[in-house]
Amino acid sequence: MRAAIERDAGNDASYGHVASRDVDTRHGVILYLDGITVSFDGFKALNNLTLDIGVGELRCIIGPNGAGKTTMMDVITGKTAPSSGTAYFGQNIDLTTLSETQIAHAGIGRKFQRPTVFENHSVIENLELAMKTDKRVRPTLFSRLTGAQADAIGQTLALIRLTPEAWRPAGLLSHGQKQWLEIGMLLMQEPKLLLLDEPVAGMTDAETERTGELLNELKGRHSLMVVEHDMDFVASIAGQGKVTVLHEGAVLAEGTMAAVQADQRVIEVYLGR
């Protein structure tokens, strides 16, 4: 039996209730993880993990297979409950008390590695379906959009570089374009923190470069956590920002890409392999 509890993301009677409070980031921090431990059959996938992310920051997370990167995102998004430790969104929202739905509603968006767009719908319809609305007025295809909603879709299309593809079925897009569309769909939910799992896996060099530009455009407006194995990509997007190296469920090193690349412990467990 796993000691960690996988939460049910399903019917959630209190949807939006707890999490409708605005996240309080007056201290400049969007995410605080403190002493998080997750055990599976006694094995600690996360072992006293402590990490925080600043508002508007683009934080890259690297580390060898099994370091705990996915488990950390599972804790942040409410999929897995830690056996100890605290996880706060801003200063006021205790993520460990919320369901996955409530956490998404509070403003944390997660992009998994594989794109999951509606292939038979056009790009624009995908964005419309993903749009954040009052939950009593669900968006429907071909519903009349308000001017503000149409503007939001237009801005997102431009940001994800898919304006020329707006009316194409999403199934006909390239792999990279599908990934951008899915990022666009997350943006329609107006997330404050975006978690991205290996966003450039399987992309062409040109798509990878454009994704780096996109993430840098999102930085500042959103806070971003990017888990990635592609070190060239991490070096290209991190700039002078912080890179966190996870190893055996805890932070091994944190600093600029240049600093972590020169760190002997990081070379031993990860980069030197």
Ligand X SMILES: Nc1ncnc2c1ncn2[C@@H]1O[C@H](COP(=O)(O)OP(=O)(O)OP(=O)(O)O)[C@@H](O)[C@H]1O
Residue type, 238: A
- Interaction of residue 40 with ligand X, rule CB under 6 A: yes
**Minimum distance of ligand X from residue 94's CB (angstroms):** 22
Question: Can residue 68 be called a binding residue for ligand X (CB under 6 A)?
Answer: yes
Indicate whether 199 belongs to the interface with ligand X (CB under 6 A).
no
- DSSP notation for 131-165: ----TTS---TTPPPPHHHHHHHHHHHHHTT-GGG
CA angle (157, 101, 177) in 5-degree steps: 25
Q: What distance in Å separates the CA atoms of residue 260 and residue 245, rounded to the nearest whole number?
A: 8
Rounded to a whole number of angstroms, the minimum distance from the CB of residue 86 to ligand X is: 19
Judged by beta carbon, residue 37 or residue 208, the one nearer ligand X is: 37
Q: Looking at beta carbons only, is 71 or 122 nearer to ligand X?
A: 71
Q: Is 61 in the site for ligand X (CB under 6 A)?
A: no
Nearer to ligand X, 25 or 71 (CB): 71
Q: Is 26 exposed, middle or buried (0-12, 13-18, 19+ CB in 10 A)?
A: exposed
| Cβ proximity of 176 and 204 under 8 Å | yes
Let me know: does 123 contact 157? Beta carbons within 8 Å: yes
Q: Which of 70, 86, 189, 256 is close enough to bind ligand X by CB under 6 A? A: 70
Region from 20-28, 65-73, 81-89, 168-176 binding ligand X, contact rule CB under 6 A? 65-73
> What residues make contact with ligand X under the rule CB under 6 A?
2, 40, 45, 63, 65-71
